[in-house]
Structure 1
Amino acid sequence: ATHAEKPGICPKHGENENKEDDYPMALNSNNLRFIMGLKLKQYRLKRGYSLKELAEKTGLSISYLSEIEKGKKYPKPEKILTLARALGVSFDTLVTLTVDGESDPIHSILSSPVVQEFPFRMFGVSIQDVLNLITESPEKVSALVRTFRDIEQSYAMRMDHLLLAALRAYQHMHLNYFQEQEEAVAGFLRENRWPPAPPVEEQRLREYVTQRLGYVIDEQSLAHYPELQEYRSVWVDGAPPRLLLNPRLSSSQKKFILAREIAFHYLNLTERPSTFSWLKLESFAQLLNNFKASYFAGALLMPREHFLEDVQRFFEQPRWDEGQFLALLHRYQVTPEMLFYRFSELLPQFFGIRDIFFLRFHHRMGSQQYQLTKSFNLSSVFNSNGIGFQEHHCRRWLSIRLLKQLAEAPTAAGAAPLLAAQRSRFIDSGKRVLMIAFARPAALNPHLLLSGTVGFLIDELFMEKVRFWDDPAIPEIEVNESCERCGLTPEQCADRAAPATIFHQQQELRLREKALHQLIRDVQSVHSKT
């Protein structure tokens, strides 16, 4: 049997996915030699010994001691005992993971979630680099860790915020395109002799998950738990494994979840969340595997070569045509959000359109709040994650405009989705973007509306690639990031939802800076004459 026929076995695509030390600096058996090297160097420096002096005291070679300190070798018990005697410490002191008790800064650093969970290796920083830094400057590194903790407490930043930021940075490094996942999808289609042309039918996915992976798909149990109605699925490990699907999901949403389950098995991603969406983030490995599974699922439902051809034809249209966009949705049988996000994966790599962003907003009917719940931003236009949680996003943004329009419909909960395009000019920078957005009722909450937007910076490359960018039928509207950052007067903007507090603070700061510079020039001028 091939690895495609055996759940959880994929030597080509997944054999290295779950090594203990792949990304976070977890304190596991793979890292013991690094910890030993760190402690040996620390105690040697405490005693004031050079490597040569320690070699003379132990009878071990300088090169061997250097290899231990670099984390390349782990000494045998008799040599550890010799080292302990020479350094005046116990055998246990050298072999345990704790260092000099709880008060030692190294112990504090190594037990910090920042050090244990942050994916240093993903950014080209090895575990040895981290441990060397800790050994050489433990007090400074300890101060840095304390700074992170202070920020966490002061700004309600949790460890999962830091890990999510690390994942976003990882996506930015790769322009959100991952060749390995694309090749895995192509391999899966080829090995299972699935037709490469879309759409992938829901029934085909169901049959694979139940017959090949041995799952039981349950669309009844989740409905009996009111507290869990906003979860799309729950995975229950066992023999057989069970996938509890929310029966209110659309066929497109169910297909995506089934495709994710295929990804977890085909890529051998064993550390995974049990719920979709998240209940809580437990580790970076779990977060990364979840991302890989979702990427695989999107690429399976929208195969790269066909998708690129269809997008090319769509961009070659001389006029914005809502019908052409809806035809793409129908061809792939996916949600607008899936289609938008696939844009962010492929357009930077294959069209050179790198100034792209994706946003998702939620709006609870009857409220005046519009919550940004997801963003991916490769553009230089604005910082979507830099807008404060309490700020009011610009009400002229297309997403929010469509949500307001949908909420005003007589039967908003059952209303048809809205789709539109808008050219937006940012007031402060003058940069223009083309936004395409949809708004629809949420499948799992009758009181919630959601919208998604894909936006492109209108530069020379974009104007060359997308013919309909300047279609006169597309409205052009001046926008800003948030009401708090916008200097438009009430007469200039009837959509304002909050005072321009940040704008006025920035204005006052600029005035003070200008006055300070003038003061310094005046004083220097007076004294230069005397």
Structure 2
Amino acid sequence: MEIEDEYIRLIFGLKLKQLRTDKNLSLFGLAKLTGLSKSYLNEIEKGKKYPKTDKIAVLSDKLEVPYDHLVSLKLDKNLAPIGEILQSKILKEIPLDLFGIKENNLIDIVANAPAKVNAFISTIIKIAQNYNLTRESFFLASLRSYQEAHNNYFEETESAVEKFAKEYQINLDQKIKSLDLEEILIEEFNYTINTTEFSTHNNLEELRTIYIPKKNILLLKENISEAQKTFIYAKELAYNYLKIEDRLYTFPWIEFKSFDQVLNNFIASYFAGALIIPKNSIVKNLKQVFNNQTWQPNEFENILNQYNCSPETFYQRLTNILPKHFHIKNLFFLRFNKTKKKELFKLKKELHITQQQDPHGNRNNEHYCRRWIALKTLNDLEKSKKLKTTFNLQISSYENSNSNYLVLSSAGADPFKKDQNRSTCIGMLLSPHLKKKIQFSEDPNIPTRIVGVTCETCAVNNCKERIMPALILNKQLQYKEISETVKGILNKFS
């Protein structure tokens, strides 16, 4: 693998710094020893300069290491993880500046405590390998962190939507229709919409669109829902209006080539959601429902039906609006998928604003609590022969904490996968602030359920929904009991 000059400089600098510190030399001391200036050596160690052969020879001689060792790209064991990161170019693929981090500063931090930091990096790499953490899932985790750091609200994109609507005379007070957006794509951005190509291929069941950039053709699957079509067109408009070039070409995505594509896909999706569910409209509607003293499910569903969107798009939009306009920041968003007639629930999407709320994804193949409303709506949908969608609300009281959440959930058929249903939910911490903002949250008719996180860690007794014993919890209790006995023995003989 070819390594860029920048990384060759960084690796040389790391090796030089390690050799200097191993000999307990300061930069000043190394400068005196070699006759090279302190500022020059500092720039070498920071990866800004690569010394000429005569200077390397001097360093080799004074530090008493072979010349070939200095110029080799092979790092000692305690620096090897840094080499893995540098050679993988992962730092180039993730725009660290989004998090206020400069790459050279990060390398410098790592180099200042190589043993501890590299042990940490090695641990992360091993965890990733053990849990099959793919490149894509790493990028998606980085994106989630970026969203959470900004409370999932992006004013620049919100403003771009309002500007776009004004320029193209879209009335944000009316339901957005796919035909209105299709006209702009064709007339303004010279799109050709092809709805016949998909039918000639048998292995594209999960795809809805393919964009062909050279000819500006959008291949669109026939018979998709009006809400899906509207969202797809809105995303395409986002890519064009915001002049995003590094983009994905399928919906849903198949693979990401870079973090920029992950981020740009999110920006385009955010733009689409903000266009279909305009900020001012949804804030006004939510205020009306939140001011009710009792829970009125029909009113909430009526709000959802005012917009040409799927329940998932609506719930995702709530994660933008609630933190910014209602200051409800302790919340989570989850999406579960379930294959019909199987007891396997897969958490496919999650987002946590402010802090890591329960529940959150587990990587131990444990069984999620069946008392969650998100799972109940899926089971209710499967049991029903008439309903196409199910909707419900409950207060979830976690048995292992004092946290109570007001959780809303909807379930319906997965539009992308045959024989699968999916549910989306949003949970909000029942704090004094929330009770002031959402009047119906204290409605005594809202069911309250004690819930766990997973069966294996749950202490709820006589749980009819439990499908696995509390294996992990029991082991922890056993170890605690042993620990207490050992303490008693130590006190007895001390």
TM-score by structure 2 length? 0.85
1:320 to partner: Cα distance: 1.6
Work out the CA distance in 2 between the residues paired with 1:379 and 1:37. Answer: 36
Deviation, structure 1 residue 446: 4.3
The one-letter amino acid paired with 2:493 is V
Root-mean-square deviation (Å): 3.2
Cross-structure match for 2:87: 111
Residues 1:441 and 2:417 aligned together = no
2:133 paired with 1:157: yes
Q: 1:363 maps to what in 2? A: 338
Q: One-letter code of the match for 2:484? A: K
In the alignment, which residue of structure 1 is the partner of 2:465?
495
1:295 aligned partner:
270
Q: Which residue of 2 aligns with 1:467?
A: 439
Change over 3 Å in CA distance of 1:41–1:505 after alignment to 2: closer
- Aligned letter for 2:397? R
1:215 equivalent among 173, 191, 197 = 191
Q: Which residue of 1 aligns with 2:236?
A: 261
Shift of the 198–54 alpha-carbon distance from structure 1 to 2, 3 Å rule, reads: farther
Once residues 395 and 303 of structure 1 are traced to their aligned partners in structure 2, the CA distance between those partners, rounded to angstroms, is 35
Structure 1 residues 230 and 128: CA distance shift in structure 2, 3 A: same
Mark the CA change 1:375 to 1:107 in structure 2 (over 3 Å): closer, same or farther.
closer
Structure-2 change in CA distance of 1:495 and 1:46 (3 Å): closer
Q: How big is the shift at 1:178? A: 1.5
Q: CA deviation at 1:83?
A: 4.5
Q: Judging changes above 3 Å, is the alpha-carbon distance between structure 1 residues 341 and 108 closer, same or farther for their aligned structure 2 residues?
A: closer
The CA deviation string for residues 379-405 of structure 1, in whole angstroms up to 9 with x for no partner, is 668443343452221112112212112
Structure 1: distance between partners of 2:398 and 2:19: 58
Moved more, 306-315 or 387-396: 387-396
Report what 1:171 is aligned to.
Answer: 147
Change (3 A) 1:241 1:311: same
From 382, 386, 389, the equivalent of 1:407 is 382
Counting aligned pairs with the same residue, the percent is 31
Amino acid at match of 1:353: I
Tell me the amino acid that sits aligned with residue 207 of structure 1.
E
CA contact (8 A) 2:230 2:308 kept: no
Distance 1:504 1:262, change over 3 A: same
Q: 2:176 aligns with which of 200, 211, 235?
A: 200
Q: Which amino acid aligns with 1:39?
A: F
Q: Does 1:512 align with 2:482?
A: yes
CA contact (8 A) 1:55 1:65 kept: yes
**Aligned partner of residue 299 in structure 1, secondary structure:** helix
Q: Is 1:350 aligned to residue 321 of structure 2?
A: no
Give CA deviations for 1:72-129 in whole Å, capped at 9, x if unaligned.
6x68xxx85664565569xxxxxxxx96134564644421355454554333331111
Contact 2:333 2:424 (8 Å CA) reproduced? yes
Paired residue secondary structure (1:226): coil
Structure 1 residues 246 and 228: alpha-carbon distance in aligned structure 2, compared to 1, 3 A threshold: same
Change (3 A) 1:88 1:266: farther
- C-alpha distance in 1, partners of 2:471/2:34? 68
Number of aligned residue pairs: give it: 478
Query: Structure 2 vs 1, CA of residues 384 and 165 (structure 1 numbering), >3 Å: closer, same or farther?
Result: farther
CA distance in 1, matches of 2:375, 2:115: 48
- Relative to 1, partners in 2 of residues 1:382 and 1:455: Cα closer, same or farther, differing over 3 Å? same
Q: Residue type of the partner of 2:412?
A: R
Tell me which of the two structures has the higher relative contact order, counting C-alpha pairs closer than 8 angstroms and 6 or more residues apart: 1
Cα distance in 1 between the residues matched to 2:210 and 2:442:
45
Specify which of 210, 213, 224 is matched with residue 237 of structure 1.
Answer: 213
How far the C-alpha of 1:206 sits from its partner, in A, is: 0.8
* Alpha-carbon separation, structure 2, partners of 1:308 and 1:116: 39
Give the residue type in structure 2 aligned to 1:304: K
User: Which residues of 2 match residues 296-315 of structure 1 at below 5 A?
Assistant: 296-315=271-290
Partner of 1:8: none
Whether the aligned pair in 1 keeps the contact of 2:27 and 2:38 (CA below 8 Å) is: yes
1:39-94 C-alpha deviation (Å, 9 max, x unpaired): 3574487588976798899998654664565466x68xxx85664565569xxxxx
CA distance in 1, matches of 2:306, 2:185: 23
SS at match of 1:344: helix
Matched letter for residue 486 of structure 1:
C
- The verdict on how the C-alpha distance between 1:448 and 1:37 changes in structure 2, with shifts beyond 3 A counting, is closer
Instruction: Report the Cα distance in structure 2 between the residues aligned to 1:208 and 1:278, rounded to whole angstroms.
Output: 24
Corresponding residue for residue 477 of structure 1: 449
Of 419, 423, 428, which residue of structure 2 is paired with 1:456?
Answer: 428
Q: Deviations over 1:353-397 (max 9, x none)?
A: 111111111121111222211111226684433434522211121
Compared CA separation, residues 68 and 300, structure 1 to 2 (3 A): farther
Q: In 2, distance between residues paired with 1:362 and 1:391?
A: 16
**In 1, distance between residues paired with 2:157 and 2:31?**
50
1:212-256 per-position Cα deviation (integer Å, ceiling 9, x unaligned): 222222222223333221223222221x22222232421111111
User: What is the identity, as a one-letter code, of the residue corresponding to 1:420?
Assistant: N
Give the aligned residue type for 2:142: A
Rounded Cα–Cα distance in structure 2 between residues aligned with 1:358 and 1:120: 25
- Establish whether residue 39 from structure 1 lines up as the match of residue 12 from structure 2: yes
Report deviation, 1:294.
1.1
Structure-2 residue corresponding to 1:331:
306
- State which drifts further: 57-66 or 507-516: 57-66
- In 2 relative to 1, CA 485–226 (structure 1 residues): closer, same or farther, beyond 3 Å? farther
Aligned to 2:254: 279
Tell me the residue number matched to 1:321: 296
**Structure 1: gaps of 5 or more residues:** 1-25, 90-97, 525-530
Classify the secondary structure of the residue corresponding to 2:481.
helix
Q: Are 2:242 and 1:270 equivalent residues in the alignment?
A: no
Counterparts of 1:309 and 1:229, CA distance in 2:
39
**Structure 1 counterpart of 2:130, which letter?**
S
Give the match for residue 350 of structure 2: 375
**Does residue 395 of the first structure (1) align with residue 370 of the second (2)?**
yes
3-state secondary structure, aligned to 2:472: helix
CA shift, 1:347, in A, is 0.8
Provide the TM-score with structure 1 as the length reference.
0.80
Tell me, in whole angstroms, the C-alpha distance in 1 between the residues paired with 2:197 and 2:397: 49
1:183–1:65: structure 2 CA closer, same or farther, 3 Å change rule?
Answer: farther
Which residues of structure 2 form unaligned runs of 5+? 62-69
Q: Note if 1:132 corresponds to 2:108.
A: yes
- The DSSP-based 3-state class of the residue aligned with 1:385 is coil
1:35 CA drift (Å) = 5.1
Deviation at 1:462, TM superposition (A): 0.8
Please list the CA deviations of residues 179-218 of structure 1 after superposition, one character each: whole Å capped at 9, or x if unmatched: 2221222222233333232422211211122222222222
- Contact preservation (8 Å) 1:363, 1:403: yes
